[in-house]
Amino acid sequence: MLNIVIFGPPGSGKGTQSEKIIAKYGLAHISTGDILRQEIKEETELGKQAKSYIDQGELVPDATIIDMLEKKLETLNNEQGVIFDGFPRTVDQAGALKKMLQKRGEDVNVMLNLEVGREELIQRLLKRGEVSGRSDDNLETIEKRIHVYEEQTSPVIEFYKAEGSYHAIPGEGSIDEIFERISNAIDSVK
């Protein structure tokens, strides 16, 4: 069983690298951002609640996200393990994930922190904004998301350092170069 958290600021390549990890290691994928965007599209109660937070670059409240993730995890039956993409984004979410996995006799085996400079993040997200149609890929919201990351999400790094599963991954360079660094980190604990 291999449970991976892929972590980093907005635009660091979490979604991009998750696809490659899934193809190589056969893991199930849980992306909280993708789930929330689907809920918004379907205009569910959860989607209506989440939309105002996402449009403003804020985090959706912990209680909502943790409940959503717990339900998603219950529906999964993957024996290889899971890649958590965009979750946890707060220390409380990290603690909740630990408890959920403990109930199954599991833990997070690897936490990958994609390190990318601020200017590169902004350039990538502006470029994606030209084609993505995402309401949060505009300069004002991007800057807000980076600020929220620094204030509320970056403390999660210390949580996983204390857990002993932390791996820093330089996140600039070609997608394949970065994936090679990620593969080396995963293979070192397998």
Among 7, 83, 97, 124, binds ligand B4P (CB under 6 A): 124
Residue type, 134: R
Which residue out of 128, 161, 181, 190 is catalytically annotated?
128
Q: Are 87 and 69 in contact (CB under 8 A)?
A: yes
Which residue out of 51, 72, 134, 144 is catalytically annotated?
134
Residue 89 among the catalytic residues: yes
Residue closer to ligand B4P (CB basis): 109 or 135: 135
Is 86 annotated as ligand-binding?
yes
Number of residues that bind ligand B4P (CB under 6 A): 26
Among 2, 3, 4, 10, binds ligand B4P (CB under 6 A): 10
Q: Which two tokens stand for residue 78?
A: 């993957």
Which residues in 35-185 belong to E strands, given as ranges? 82-85, 110-115, 166-170
Residue closer to ligand B4P (CB basis): 23 or 190: 23
Q: Is 105 helix (H, G, I), strand (E, B) or coil?
A: coil
Under rule CB under 6 A, residue 3 binds ligand B4P: no
Binders of ligand B4P among 96-115, rule CB under 6 A?
Answer: none
Nearest to 154 by CA among 64, 88, 110, 100: 88
Strands 110-115 and 82-85: unpaired
DSSP 80-123: S-EEEES---SHHHHHHHHHHHHHTT----EEEEEE--HHHHHH
Is 129 annotated as ligand-binding?
no
Euclidean distance between CA atoms 111 and 96, whole angstroms: 15
Specify burial of residue 145 (Cβ count, 10 A radius: 0-12, 13-18, 19+): buried
* Site stretch for ligand B4P (CB under 6 A), options 56-64, 73-81, 103-111, 160-168: 56-64
Residue closer to ligand B4P (CB basis): 149 or 166: 149
| Site of interaction with ligand B4P (CB under 6 A) | 10-16, 32-33, 36, 53-54, 58-60, 65, 86-87, 89, 93, 124, 128, 136, 145, 175, 178
Residues with a catalytic annotation lie at 14, 89, 128, 134, 145
Annotated binding site for ATP: 11-16, 128, 173
